[in-house]
A and B are shown apart, each in its own frame.
Chain A
Amino acid sequence: MSKSFRPGVITANDLRNGEVVYFTAADHWSSDHTQAEWLADAAQAAQRLNRAQQDSHIVVDPYLAEAQRNAAGEPEPTHFREQFRTRGPSNYWHGKQAA
Chain B
Amino acid sequence: MYSYQPFDKAFVRRRITQFREQIRRRLDGSLTEEEFKPFRLMNGLYMQLHAYMLRVAIPYGTFSPAQLRQMAYIADRWDKGYGHFTTRQNIQYNWPQLDNVADILEALADVDMHAIQTSGNCIRNVTADHFAGAAADEIEDPRPTAELIRQWSTDHPEFMFLPRKFKIALTGSPQDRAVTRAHDIGLQMQRDATGAPGYTVIVGGGLGRTPVIGQVIREFLPKAELLPYLEAILSVYNSIGRRDNLYKARIKITVQQVGLEAFRAQVEERFQRIRPHFSGVDQALLTELEAAFAPPEYQTADTSAFDQARQQDPIFNAWAGTNLHPHKHPDYAIVTVSLKAHGQTPGDINSHQMRVLADLAETCGHSDLRASHEQNLILPHVHKGDLPALHAALREHGLATANIGLISDIIACPGMDYCSLAMARSIPIAQQIAQRFDELEHQIGPLKVKISGCINACGHHHVGHIGILGMDRGGVESYQITLGGDHTEQATLGKRTGQGFSYEDILPAMERLIQAYLAQRSTADESFTDTYRRLGPAPFKTALYAHV
B95 near A94 (CB under 8 angstroms)?
Answer: yes
Q: Which residues of B contact A92 (CB under 8 A)?
A: 80, 345
A80–B471 Cα gap in the complex (Å)?
12
B27 in contact with A16 (CB, 8 Å): yes
Is the CB of B475 closer than 8 A to any CB of chain A?
yes
- Report which of A18, A79, A84 forms a contact with B51, defined as CB distance below 8 A: A18
Contact string against A for B residues 423-436, beta-carbon threshold 8 Å, 1 for contact and 0 otherwise: 00101100100000
Contact A16–B475 (Cβ < 8 Å): no
B8 within 8 A of A: no
A17 in the interface (beta carbon within 8 A): yes
**Residues in chain A near residue B28, CB distance under 8 A:** 57
B47 near A61 (CB under 8 angstroms)?
yes
B159 CB within 8 Å of chain A: no
For A56, list chain B residues within 8 Å (CB): 29, 32-33
Q: Which residues of B contact A19 (CB under 8 A)?
A: 50-51
Compute how far the CA of A96 lies from the CA of B427 in the bound complex, rounded to whole angstroms: 19
Given contacts A56-B32, A85-B50, are A90 and B417 in contact (CB under 8 A)?
yes
| Smallest CB separation, B96 vs chain A (Å) | 8
**In the complex the two chains form, is A84's CB within 8 Å of B98's CB?**
no
Q: Are A91's CB and B345's CB within 8 A?
A: yes
CA distance A9 to B305 in the complex (A): 65
On whether the beta carbons of A78 and B47 are closer than 8 Å, the reply is no
**Is A42 engaged at the interface, CB distance under 8 Å to the other chain?**
no
- Check B428 against A18 for contact (C-beta < 8 Å): no
Q: State the Cβ distance, A42 to closest chain B Cβ, in Å.
A: 20
Across the interface, do B431 and A15 meet the contact criterion of CB distance under 8 Å? no
Question: Beta-carbon contacts of B475-514 to A below 8 Å, as 1s and 0s?
Answer: 1110000000000000000000000000000000000000
Q: When chains A and B are docked, how far (Å) is the Cα of A15 from the Cα of B99? A: 10
* A60 adjacent to B427 (CB under 8 Å): no
Q: Does A91 contact B49, Cβ atoms closer than 8 Å?
A: no
CA distance A20 to B49 in the complex (A): 8
Interface centre among A18, A79, A80, by most B CB within 10 Å? A18
B345→A16 contact, CB < 8 A: no
Closest to A84 in B: B416
Q: Give the interface centre of B50, B94, B431, B472 by most chain A CB atoms within 10 Å.
A: B50
Cross-chain contact of A18 among B26, B47, B417, B422 (Cβ < 8 A): B47
Q: What is the distance, in angstroms, from B533's C-beta to the closest C-beta of chain A? A: 34
With A80-B477, A84-B417, A92-B80 as contacts: A15 and B428 at CB distance below 8 Å: no
A13 at the interface (CB under 8 A from B): yes
Q: Which of the four size classes fits the interface of chain A?
A: 20 to 34
Establish whether residues A18 and B48, one from each chain, have CB atoms under 8 Å apart when the complex forms. Answer: yes
Report Cα–Cα, A85/B49, bound state, in Å.
Answer: 7
Tell whether, in the assembled complex, residue A18 and residue B33 are in contact, meaning their CB atoms are under 8 Å apart. no
A42-58 residues at the B interface, CB under 8 angstroms:
56-57
Q: Taking CB as reference atom, which chain A residue is nearest B50?
A: A95
Query: Within 8 Å of chain B (Cβ to Cβ): is A88?
Result: yes
Closest residue on chain B to residue A85 by CB atoms: B49
Give Cα A88–Cα B416 distance, bound, in whole angstroms.
Answer: 10
Is B39 engaged at the interface, CB distance under 8 Å to the other chain?
Answer: no
Q: How far is the CB of B215 from chain A (nearest CB, A)?
A: 37
Q: Which of A15, A79, A85, A88 has the most CB of B within 10 A?
A: A15
Residue contact A91 to B427, C-beta cutoff 8 Å: yes
Please give, as numbers and ranges, the residues of chain A lying within 8 Å of B95 by CB-CB distance: 18, 94
User: Which residue in chain A gives the minimum CB-CB distance to B98?
Assistant: A16
* Given contacts A18-B98, A91-B427, A84 and B49 within 8 Å (CB-CB): yes
B97 at the interface (CB under 8 A from A): yes
Q: Are A60 and B33 in contact (CB under 8 A)?
A: yes
Q: How far is the CA of A22 from the CA of B476 in the complex (A)?
A: 23
Which residue of B26, B27, B33, B49 contacts A61 across the interface (Cβ within 8 Å)? B33
How far apart are the CA atoms of A92 and B543 in the complex, in Å? 33
Please give the distance in Å from B59's CB to the nearest CB on chain A. Answer: 27
Q: Interface 1/0s, chain B 450-490, versus A by CB < 8 A? A: 00000000000000000000001001110000000000000
Q: Could you tell me if B98 and A15 are in contact, using CB atoms closer than 8 angstroms?
A: yes
In whole angstroms, how far apart are the Cα atoms of A85 and B99 in the complex? Answer: 22
Give the docked Cα–Cα distance between A91 and B412 (Å): 13
B426 to chain A, nearest CB (A): 10
The answer to whether A17 and B32 have CB atoms under 8 Å apart is no
B27 adjacent to A15 (CB under 8 Å): yes
Contact A79-B99, Cβ < 8 Å, known A18-B51, A89-B418, A90-B425: no
B220 at the interface (CB under 8 A from A): no
Which of A78, A94, A96 has most B Cβ within 10 Å? Answer: A94
**B504 CB to nearest chain A CB (Å):** 13
Q: Which residues on A sit within 8 Å (CB–CB) of B94?
A: 89, 94
How near does chain A come to B99, taking the closest CB pair, in angstroms? 6
Contact status B416-A81, CB under 8 Å: yes
A17 partner residues in chain B, CB cutoff 8 A: 51-52, 97-98
User: In the assembly, what is the distance between CA of A84 and CA of B425, in Å?
Assistant: 10
Which single residue of chain B is at the shortest CB-CB distance from A95? B50
Cβ contacts under 8 Å, B47 to chain A: 13, 18, 60-61
**Could you list 21 examples of A-B contacts with CB < 8 Å?**
A15-B98, A16-B99, A17-B97, A18-B98, A19-B51, A20-B49, A57-B27, A57-B29, A80-B475, A80-B476, A80-B477, A81-B472, A89-B418, A89-B427, A90-B417, A90-B427, A91-B345, A91-B427, A91-B431, A94-B94, A94-B95
Q: Known contacts A19-B50, A90-B425, A90-B427; can you find 14 more A-B pairs with CB under 8 A?
A: A16-B97, A17-B97, A20-B50, A60-B47, A61-B33, A80-B476, A80-B477, A81-B49, A81-B416, A84-B417, A85-B50, A90-B428, A91-B345, A96-B50
Residues of A in contact with B (beta carbons under 8 Å apart): 13, 15-20, 56-57, 60-61, 78-81, 84-85, 88-92, 94-96
Q: 9 nearest interchain CB pairs?
A: A18-B51, A57-B29, A89-B417, A18-B52, A17-B97, A95-B50, A91-B345, A91-B427, A90-B428
